[in-house]
Amino acid sequence: MAAKMNPDLKKERDGASFDPEKIVNFLYGGPDRVRRRREVVSLALDDPDFQHEDLNFMSREQQYETQLKKSILVVQKQKELGLVSPEDMGNYNYNGVFKGMSGPFGLHTSMFLPTLRGQATAEQKAKWLKMAENYAIIGTYAQTEMGHGTFLRGLETTSTYDPQTQEFVLNTPTPTGTKWWPGCLGKTSNYCVLMAQLYIHGKSYGPHPFMVQIRSLQDHKPLPGVTVGDIGPKFGYAGNDNGFLRFDNVRIPRDNMLMKYSRVEPDGTYVKPPSSKLAYGTMVQVRSFIVSEASDSLAKAVTIAVRYSCVRRQSEMKPGHPEPQVLDYVTQQYKLFPYLAAAYAFMLAARSMIFVYFRSMEKIGRGDITVLPELHALSSGLKSLSSWVMNAGIEECRMACGGHGYSHASGIPSIYMEHTPAATYEGENTVLMLQTARYLMKSYNQSLQGEKLAGSVAYLSGVQPVPVAGRTRNVLDLNVLIQAFQHRAARLVHEAALQLKKERQTGKDQPDAWNAASVDLVKAAKAHSQYFVVKNFADRLTDPALDSAARAVLTRLCQLYALHDIVNSSGDFLEDGYLTGSDIRQARRHINALMAKLRPDAVALVDAFDFPDGILNSILGRYDGNVYQHLLEWAKASPLNKTDVHESYYKYLKPFLEANRAKL
């Protein structure tokens, strides 16, 4: 029998102005895809083979063993169930079984397989890809080192070609050259795609990918010359064996270098790729999916905090009256609603980014590599912006849940621990923003030469940012908001370019000038990325899948998202007089009015993210709102409560107390 719903949550849902199912269909691609998504997720959530003790009550070793067992079951059951599409497998595996967490096969599917598919020749695919796809071998992607991460040219692991034997000799020359952090490396993988500096006849040709066996296929022990292990406990990812890896004169055949784009001939002749950026494809794909991961993680935290804020009643707003729901406090709305809006904004940005990625890869497959620089810049900027906002938003949601938010029962600490590394993995955010800035500077200079720009930088074509002061604006108008964000981005790109030029004029060389102007460059890249997110949100509101009620509530979220950033970054808009103090004051008033309008729809809006309890994994965020009885049951299940008296009492506390009493 279904549990009775908390009356406050029932009232919230009954009072919504729109049908959440309309937005669910809008977010996830229509009724058929939503139906399929729910069906596949339920296959995982309802399978007793995936039921186990709460991971929070397990040791790290138990968590790893549990997640490894589940990973193997996933592979077997996906075949049995006929789940072959990437969408089905993602919903079953990542969402349903692992609930948005990373398992011991995570890097095998997210990096190892895509790299083989994207950078191996047809002959190399025939040799390794079928084995990898059928899990006859398990691989990881070994790029990051103890001393270098985002800066690939600084990698120290070497691969030196020996033309006499037609082999590459792998070495780790320094402690800082130790591969460090790759997931699935510590105990799981027996192969890796290794990024190492290629040396031929004493000359360096930069980092290249190599297919390397690191463990025996018979007993799983490290091969001669290979030192590999787990890096130890981390902030999160307890079930994942992030590892370290070192090589001491390990020899691999010449054809173990992935040679789709560049190759080494038997005599040592190096054949360079048509573009040095072609190898970025896998990383761009991963960064595109991180935007989706960030939006989903923020959406989960907001869902928990909003639902709990409607269940929780606190203090007396008016003496003698019942305690109000916490979400009725405007300060609570101001904490949560901007992040609710941000979750929607980045969810829509992620869908657009992934669409751009696949469209671009089709062009690249036809030989058109001109799309790569913009694709790299856009994915870098959005990955950085979304993960920064996600990190801040999850922590705000935790604090908005009061003391209970600190408990693992809330689900929020796990979300934070699992996803906060997105700000540093697959490219540290500030470094990535500077890569976006490099593309912006190049595009801006092209526009000064009269070139017409397209895509995400089209707004820079011929733009010389000129303030338009003294104009009265309706800052609720989405076109006005888009123009404001476009103006800010164009102005900050322009000013960053001027600052860079000034630094050069003082006598600095280009690298020193770039470093001196880097704060302005990052600011410009953030503004560019934010403009994309706002414009994309507004553009998506024209989708015919939305009815008038759903479009109205999403329009309010879009307005809130934009206005909140304008108020928080008001200096950017006031600095050149584009907006006035009156505009900012108007924006503040509109934010309060928008929050009041969104308040009755808050629960329905988080329901529209469509996270079942099994995925949300939160006592505080339960769909039925029955928080307190389940919170007590969860606490009773703690291993510390298996006995009324813990064994440490007899070992330590009892003799301590008895000795003290004897002295009295």
Digit-coded pLDDT (tens) for 165-195: 999 999 999 999 999 999 999 999 999 999 9
* CA dist., res. 542 & res. 539, Å (int): 6
Lowest mean pLDDT, pick from 85-89, 174-178, 332-336, 346-350: 85-89
pLDDT at 53: 87
3-state secondary structure 357-407: HHHHHHHHHCCCCCCHHHHHHHHHHHHHHHHHHHHHHHHHHHHHCHHHHHC
Rg of the chain over Cα atoms, rounded to whole angstroms, equals: 27
Residues 470, 484 contacting (CB under 8 angstroms): no
Which SS3 state, helix, strand or coil, does residue 205 take?
A: strand
* CA dist., res. 347 & res. 251, Å (int): 45
The 8-class DSSP code of residue 61 comes to H
CA angle 63, 64, 66 (to 5 degrees): 65
Residues 606, 306 contacting (CB under 8 angstroms): yes
pLDDT at 425: 86
- pLDDT mean over 631-656: 95
State yes or no: pLDDT of 427 exceeds 60.
yes
Which SS3 state, helix, strand or coil, does residue 502 take?
A: helix
State yes or no: pLDDT of 323 exceeds 80.
yes
One-letter amino acid of 42:
S
pLDDT at 437: 97
State yes or no: pLDDT of 660 exceeds 70.
yes
Chain CA centroid to CA 386, Å: 7
State yes or no: pLDDT of 276 exceeds 80.
no
pLDDT in tens, 300-318: 999 999 999 999 998 878 8
Q: 488 pairs with which residues across the strands?
A: none
Nearest to 199 by CA among 236, 234, 238, 167: 167
Give 14's contacts (C-beta < 8 A, 6+ positions apart): none
Mean pLDDT of the chain: 93
pLDDT band at 1 (very low <50, low <70, confident <90, very high): very low
Which SS3 state, helix, strand or coil, does residue 644 take?
A: coil
pLDDT at 245: 98
426 is catalytic: yes
DSSP 209-262: EEEEE-B-TTT-PBPTTEEEEE----SS-TTS--EEEEEEEEEEEGGGB--SS-
Annotated active-site residue in 426, 503, 633, 658: 426
pLDDT at 527: 97
pLDDT band at 365 (very low <50, low <70, confident <90, very high): confident
pLDDT at 253: 97
Residues in the chain, overall count:
664
Lowest mean pLDDT, pick from 57-71, 114-128, 230-244, 361-375: 361-375
Instruction: Indicate the burial class of 567 (C-beta count within 10 angstroms; 0-12, 13-18, 19 or more).
Output: middle
State yes or no: pLDDT of 11 exceeds 70.
yes
- Helix%, strand%, coil% for the chain, nearest 5: 60, 10, 30
The 8-class DSSP code of residue 664 comes to -
CB atoms within 10 A of CB 647: 8
State yes or no: pLDDT of 60 exceeds 80.
yes
Lowest mean pLDDT, pick from 5-19, 48-62, 550-564, 641-655: 48-62
CA angle 577, 581, 587 (to 5 degrees): 110
pLDDT band at 554 (very low <50, low <70, confident <90, very high): very high
Q: Take residue 102 and report the two structure tokens written for it.
A: 């990373």
pLDDT in tens, 87-138: 999 899 888 888 878 789 989 998 999 999 989 999 999 999 999 999 999 9
State yes or no: pLDDT of 356 exceeds 90.
no
Pairing of strands 191-200, 139-142: parallel
* CA dist., res. 331 & res. 309, Å (int): 12
**H/E element holding 652?**
none
- pLDDT mean over 373-385: 92
* CA dist., res. 20 & res. 607, Å (int): 7
pLDDT in tens, 467-499: 555 566 789 999 999 999 999 999 999 999 999
Largest distance between two CA atoms of the chain: 92
